[in-house]
A and B are shown apart, each in its own frame.
Chain A
Amino acid sequence: MRHYENLVIVKPTLTAEEIQASLKAIEEVITSNGGEIAATNAMGMRKLAYPINKNERGYYQVIYYSAAPSAISEIERRFRINEELLRFVTIKYDTNREIKAWNGLVEKANKKAELAEAAAATPAPEAATEAPVVEEAPATEAPTEEAPVATEAAAE
Chain B
Amino acid sequence: MSEKRKYKKRYCKYCEAKVDFMDYKEVASLRFSLSERYKIMPRRLTGNCKRHQDMITVVIKRARAAALVPYTVTRKQVVTAPFENLR
Give me the interface of A with B, judged by CB distance under 8 Å: 7, 9, 43, 46-50, 52, 58, 62, 86-87, 89, 91, 97-98, 100-101, 105
Residue on A nearest B68 in the bound complex, by CB? A49
Give me the interface of B with A, judged by CB distance under 8 Å: 20-21, 23-25, 62, 64-71, 85-87
Give chain B residues whose Cβ lies under 8 Å from the Cβ of A62.
Answer: 25
Complex CA gap A101/B20 in Å reads: 9
SS of A interface (majority): strand
B86 engages A47 (CB within 8 Å): yes
Counting from the closest, the 5 A-B pairs by CB-CB distance are: A101-B21, A49-B70, A48-B67, A89-B66, A49-B67
- Among A7, A47, A48, A52, the residue within 8 A (CB) of B25 is A7
B86 engages A89 (CB within 8 Å): no
Known: A89-B62, A97-B20. A49 touches B25 (CB 8 A): no
Give chain A residues whose Cβ lies under 8 Å from the Cβ of B70.
Answer: 49-50
Give chain A residues whose Cβ lies under 8 Å from the Cβ of B65.
Answer: 87, 89
Beyond the given A47-B85, A49-B70, A89-B65, could you list 10 further A-B residue pairs with CB under 8 A, ordered by the A residue number?
Answer: A7-B25, A9-B66, A9-B67, A46-B86, A49-B64, A49-B68, A49-B69, A87-B65, A87-B66, A91-B62
Query: Residue among A47, A50, A91, A105 with the most chain B CB within 10 A?
Result: A50
Give chain B residues whose Cβ lies under 8 Å from the Cβ of A43.
Answer: 25
Complex CA gap A121/B71 in Å reads: 41
A52 engages B20 (CB within 8 Å): no
